[in-house]
Amino acid sequence: MHETAAPSARSVAAHLGLQDTVIDPDVQAKAVAWLREHAISLPTFAELTDPQKVEARAREYAAVDPDAADPANLFRVHWFNGPDRRNPVAVPEHVVLDPAFTGVDAPIVVLLGDRFPMIGAHKVLAAYACLAPRLVTGTFDPGYHRAVWPSTGNYARGGVAISRIMGCRGVAVLPEGMSRERFDWLSRWVADPDDIIATPGSESNVKEIYDACAELAEDPRNVVLNQFCEFANHLAHFQVTGTAFGRVVDTLIAENPTMRPAAFVAASGSAGTLGAGDWLKERYGTRTVAVEALECPTMLYNGYGEHNIQGIGDKHIPLIHNVTNTDVVVAVSDQATDELGVVCNADAGRRHLAARGVSPALLEALPSFGLSSHCNVVAAVKTARKLALGPDDLVLTVATDSAGLYLSERARVLAKRFGGELDEREAEAVHNQHLLDAEPDHVLVLGEDDRNRIFNLGYFTWVEQQGVPLPVFESRRDQSFWRELRDLLPTWDGLIADVNQRIVASS
C-alpha cells in the first residue's frame, strides 16, 4: 500500500490558522493602526514567561486596577503577580498543602490562578495566546472581526476581557448550566448582551458549543478561537506555565535539596494546562497526570455523563491534548469537589480543619480554590497514593480559579446535602471521605495500548465531526510533532516585536 507522508507541524498549524508568517499585510496594517489608536502594545511570550524583562513597565502601571479593561493588564497575563495582582513577585504565588489536609506525605504544590488580572483565573493567558498570533500575522482585524470564545466558562471570560482591551467585539459561548457568577461577570464586560450565547446543557455538553460556533463561523466577521484545538493554548502553557512551575520547584529544592518533582496533575478541560506537563517532564522527568470527572469518564472508561466540576469539559479528547505523552489518568467525583468547596469555605469546616492541624497559611489560601482546583487536589492525593510517593516527592498542580466564582453553587450544595447549614461532624466526614481516607481508585497508569485507545477517541470529534484531515489528526501521535510546534513561539515573538515597533514609529 502506498503511504502518504504525515504533514509537518507547520502545515498542521497552518491548517488550524496558526501561521508563522504574515498572511495578509493589509489586514496586519489595519491591526497595527487599530492598536496604535487604542494605545496598545503586545507582550511577547518571552515577556510573559519572565516578567523581569518588563520590570520598568510594571513600575509604570502599578497603579492600574488589575480588574480594569486597561492595556497595561496585558502585561500582567502571567504567573508572577503578587497577592494584590498589581505588583510582580520573584516566585509565583503558590501554597504547599499540609499532610494534615491531604492525608499523604508527598508535598502537593498548588499554583494560584486567581492572581491573574481581570478574571482571577489563568485562562486569560490562553485567550491572549490564541488571539495575539492572529493579530500579528494579519488574520484578525480588530476593527472588523469579532472574536468568538467557546468555553465552559473561564476561557470565554478571558477572551471577552482581552477583546474589551483590544476594543473589539468578543462573543462568549458557554453552557447555560454554568455558575451564575460566570454569567454575572460576562454581563458586565460584553459590549452587547447578544454577545453572551448560552448553549444547552452543562459542563459536559461541549459538542453543543461547537455546533453554535459552526453557525457563527458562517459569518465572515466571526473568528472562532477554539481553545480545544488552538495549539497556541498548548504552547503558552508549555512555556509560560511550565517555566512558572520550574521557578517554584527550583525554589523549593533550594530550601530542601532532597526534594524532586514526581508528577504534574491537571484536569483535562481544553488540555491547555496539561502542556506544562511536557515542559516539566523534559526538565525534571515528572509524570503527567490528566484528570476527568468520574461522572463522565471519557479517558478512563470511554464513558459519558454529566457533572458539576465546572472548568473541565469532556465527552471528547481535545485536539491539543498530547495524549501519547500522558502517563496517568485519574477520575474525581463532583460529590468530592462540591462538598470540599463547602467545607473549605464554611466556618464549621474551617474550625474542623484547624483542629486537625491544618496551618493558618493554608486556611488563608483556601478561598483561592474553586471547584476544579479541589478536583486537582483530590486527583493529586489519589496520584500520590497510587504511585506510593513519599515526603520528598513533589506533586504539582493548579488552583485554576477561586471560590468566589461558586457562591451560588455552594449555596445549592449546602441546601441540598447539608440541610442548609454545615456542622463540624459533617465537615469531618467530608474531609475524611474525599481526602484523608480517599482510595486510589479510578486511577490508571497508562501503557502504550491505553494511550493509543485514548488518542483514537479523538477521531470521532475532530475528523468525523469537525473535519480535521486524518493525516493532520494522526501527526499528533508522534512527539516530534509537539517539539517542532514550539518553533512557533520565537517566530510569534519576532512578529509581535515588529508590530510593536511599527506602533511606536507611527505614533
DSSP 443-507: EEE--HHHHHHHHHHHHIIIIIIT---HHHHHHTTSHHHHHHHTTHHHHHHHHHHHHHHHHHHT-
- Residue appearing with cell numbers 497603579: 63
Query: Across residues 168-176, what is the average pLDDT?
Result: 93
Query: Across residues 42-70, what is the average pLDDT?
Result: 91
- Residue appearing with cell numbers 464513558: 303
- Where helices occur in 55-150 by DSSP H, the ranges are 55-60, 99-102, 123-136
- What average pLDDT does the chain have? 93
- 3-class secondary-structure state, position 124: helix
Q: What is the pTM of this model?
A: 0.95
Go through the domains of the chain in sequence order and give each one's CATH number: 94-116+240-455 (3.40.50.1100)
Which of 12-16, 145-149, 180-184, 297-301 is the least confident region?
Answer: 12-16
- Predicted confidence at residue 6, as pLDDT, reads 52
* Count of beta carbons in the 10 Å neighbourhood of residue 285: 10
Q: Residue 96's beta-bridge partner residues?
A: 109
Sheet holding 222-224, edge to edge: 196-199, 169-175, 146-150, 222-224
Query: Half-sphere exposure of 411 toward its Cβ, with a 13 Å CA cutoff?
Result: 8
d(C-alpha 127, C-alpha 226), whole Å:
10
Please, which residues have CB within 8 angstroms of residue 395's CB and are 6 or more apart in sequence? Answer: 106, 107, 108, 109, 262, 263, 264, 265, 380, 383, 384, 389
Q: Is the pLDDT of residue 5 over 60?
A: no
Please, which residues have CB within 8 angstroms of residue 79's CB and are 6 or more apart in sequence? Answer: 92, 93, 111, 115, 116, 122, 240, 241, 244
Which of 153-157, 202-206, 377-381, 482-486 is the least confident region?
Answer: 202-206
Closest CA to 317 of 297, 341, 333, 299: 299
